[in-house]
């Protein structure tokens, strides 16, 4: 039969060994608290930023569209014009792609950028997120 340890029995070995149930209970409590805190932190990083991330994606697409329209108008067009001094306006945006690091003339929303020739140069247009011309989210290279 195993001896039962009680407080009245003197203990000549380290306290850790004399009170294994207390140490085990403390260890379980620490482990449980660690798991709960870890779960709370994981939920915070998984759920909350995802809503902000979706919000930022919408703004990032618009930013990419603005930058790309400006690159067409203010970087690619002057380079094209330098190699085509007798022409005022490129026939299409595809002619400007040679001067950009792009393979197509599509905006981040999947619609093609549009090219308009003006007396001062060109204007690049994107219908924006809603895909409809004449709405508040339209993107112009000349910052209308």
The 10s digit of each residue's pLDDT in 12-56 is 655 555 555 656 666 676 667 677 667 677 656 565 544 444 455
Q: Quick one: pLDDT at residue 46?
A: 61
Element (H, E) at 115: strand 114-118
Q: Quick one: pLDDT at residue 24?
A: 60
Any idea which of 40-49, 92-101, 114-123 has the lowest mean pLDDT?
Answer: 40-49
Supply the mean pLDDT for the chain.
78
The topology under which CATH files domain 15-140 is Glycoprotein, Type 4 Pilin (3.30.700)
> Does the pLDDT at position 139 exceed 80?
yes
| Domain extent listing, the chain | 15-140
> Does the pLDDT at position 64 exceed 60?
yes
CB 133 within 8 A of CB 139: no
Element (H, E) at 125: strand 121-126
């Amino acid at each position: 039969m195993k001896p039962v340890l009680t407080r009245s029995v003197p203990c000549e070995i380290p306290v850790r060994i004399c009170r294994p149930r207390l140490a085990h209970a403390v260890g379980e409590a620490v482990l449980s608290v660690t798991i709960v805190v870890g779960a709370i932190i994981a939920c915070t990083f998984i759920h909350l930023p995802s809503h902000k991330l979706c919000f930022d994606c919408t703004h990032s697409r618009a930013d990419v569209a603005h930058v790309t329209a400006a690159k067409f108008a203010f970087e690619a067009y002057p380079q094209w014009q330098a190699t085509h001094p007798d022409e005022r306006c490129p026939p299409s945006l595809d002619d400007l792609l040679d001067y950009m690091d792009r393979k197509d003339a599509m905006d981040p929303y999947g619609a093609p950028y549009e090219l308009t020739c003006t007396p001062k140069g060109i204007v690049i247009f994107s219908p924006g997120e809603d895909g409809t011309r004449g709405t508040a989210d339209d993107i112009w290279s000349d910052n209308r």
